[in-house]
Copies of this chain bind each other. A is one copy, B any other.
Amino acid sequence: MHRVKVDALTPEMSVPAREWRHLRVLRLRAGDTIRVFDGRGAEAEATVSALHEGGATLTLGASVEGAAETPQPVTLAIALLKGDKLADVTRAATELGVARIQLLTSRYADVPDIGPAKLERLRRIALEASKQSRRAVTPDVLAPIPVTQLRADGPAFIAHPGTHARLTDHLTWDAPVTVVSGPEGGWTDAEVTHLERAGFTPVTLGPRILRAETAPLALLGAIVATGV
């Protein structure tokens, strides 16, 4: 069933222009049923009540339980990566249930910053991936902050080769969860010191060297494999 993101679930809804071209190719007719979601966890059935040039009106139907979300929101905080790596991580992280992707600048990040066009592209990728993975939440992709300003508002983890601590042993769902993932060039000592002071728990991903685009998926894979 086709899923359309709307601004809010209201009794009567217009299909936003950005969604309209997806709907057009389906050749929907008045009376057809689709799914609508607001990107913040609410999802419902909706009936096409009217079609007109360049748009459609939808009537809200029964709500659908948003069963695809983790018990608390998970944030992936990730250093800027080169080329399409950040796009690939955004897509997979969305499938793996993150609620938020916080981009980070850091001393050895692959690129120093990200432009508005690239940021917008990541947001579109997160939207598409949330639809394809049947989620009612579209992760926010937040403009970069320096890693030295990153705060943890609950259980927070950083992969570290030198530790034997396991993420899943420390995974309580009593507050939002954050996992942080570094650039190809690693963190500076000062950045590591900040993260430790900010309460990030070092956890193991085994003794091998993982690329910067593989490590975040391994961390998130470990979380989803617990069944959330």
Chain A: interface residue total (CB-CB under 8 A): 38
Q: Give A100 to B205 CA distance when docked, in angstroms.
A: 19
Q: In the complex the two chains form, is A214's CB within 8 Å of B166's CB?
A: no
Residue A221 lies at the interface, judged by CB distance under 8 Å to chain B: yes
Q: In the complex the two chains form, is A211's CB within 8 Å of B166's CB?
A: no
Q: In the complex the two chains form, is A134's CB within 8 Å of B208's CB?
A: yes
Residue A67 contacts which of B132, B207, B209 (CB distance < 8 angstroms)? B207
Q: In the complex the two chains form, is A133's CB within 8 Å of B227's CB?
A: no
Hey, which chain B residues are within 8 Å of A166, CB to CB?
225-227
Which of chain B's residues has its CB closest to A207's CB?
B68
Q: Give A11 to B19 CA distance when docked, in angstroms.
A: 66
Q: In the complex the two chains form, is B219's CB within 8 Å of A225's CB?
A: yes
Which of chain B's residues has its CB closest to A66's CB?
B207
Secondary structure at the A interface, as helix, strand, loop or mixed, is loop
Query: What is the count of identical protomers in the complex?
Result: 2
| Nearest Cβ on chain B to A101's Cβ, whole angstroms | 15
Residue A185 lies at the interface, judged by CB distance under 8 Å to chain B: no
Q: Give A224 to B208 CA distance when docked, in angstroms.
A: 9
Q: Which of A67, A135, A164, A207 has the most CB of B within 10 A?
A: A207
Take A225-B168, A225-B203 as given contacts and tell me if A218 and B217 are in contact as well, using a CB distance cutoff of 8 Å.
yes
Residue A96 lies at the interface, judged by CB distance under 8 Å to chain B: yes
Residue A222 contacts which of B67, B132, B135, B225 (CB distance < 8 angstroms)? B225
